[in-house]
Amino acid sequence: MESYLDLKFPEIPMINAEETPDWVYSARREMQEIVPGLFLGPYAAAMKCKLQVLLDHGITHIVCIRQDIEAQFIKPNFPENFEYLVLNVADSTSENIIAHFPKVKEFIDKCSLFGGKTLVHGNAGMSRSAALVIAYIMETFGLSFKDAVRYVQQKRFCISPNEGFMRQLAEYEPIFTARLQIPLQDRPQTSGMKRTHEDVDCEMTEQR
């Protein structure tokens, strides 16, 4: 069976330092393109006054991340213009964010398949949304946790997933790499559940 290192991933776009503008504080309120077709930003980038900006950037899909108490001021403002995935996620170190990784990847991949572009936003675009984008970059391009964090941060300097999310992202690396070595038809359905190190160890033991 081929190893994780033997698996073929699309090549992630190289970052040209000369083309990357110096980060300015005001950029925190804007969205940035992390890889072609995938943007990360704050809710300020998806407010009602930003419709034309979103259209000008070719956005077709939006992942809106909020918790129940934020629903009054973080909302899908343009359901007639964009396809939305709305997630109930608290910016808490105890929140199970791994449970949302598969559905976010599926949503973004389907968007890309039809030539669309996705914006992922939470409130500030720094913790929850950043963690979801980092997980997507890891699994899509085969990057390690540390390399994915470094890559996303070079595009949106202000990202700062909370400690719990960072821990889960580190845990996710062996989870998705182990799953990729299982034939597609035999892969478990992971949407909505959190995998543990014990689960991964069991899978890897069975493959030896």
The DSSP H or E segment spanning 102 is: helix 101-113
- How much of the chain, in percent, has pLDDT values that exceed 90? 70
pTM score: 0.81
Of 79 and 15, more confident: 79
Query: How do residues 141-159 score in pLDDT, each as one tens digit?
Result: 999 999 999 999 999 999 9
Domains and CATH numbers, the chain: 32-207 (3.90.190.10)
> Residue 5 above 70 pLDDT?
no
Query: How do residues 152-180 score in pLDDT, each as one tens digit?
Result: 999 999 999 999 999 999 999 998 888 77
Within 8 A by CB and 6+ apart from 107, the residues are: 61, 63, 85, 118
How distant, in Å, are the alpha carbons of 7, 18, 113, 170 from that of 81?
A: 37, 35, 18, 36
Query: How do residues 95-118 score in pLDDT, each as one tens digit?
Result: 999 999 999 999 999 999 999 999
Residue 114: what are its φ and ψ, rounded to 5°?
Answer: -100, 15
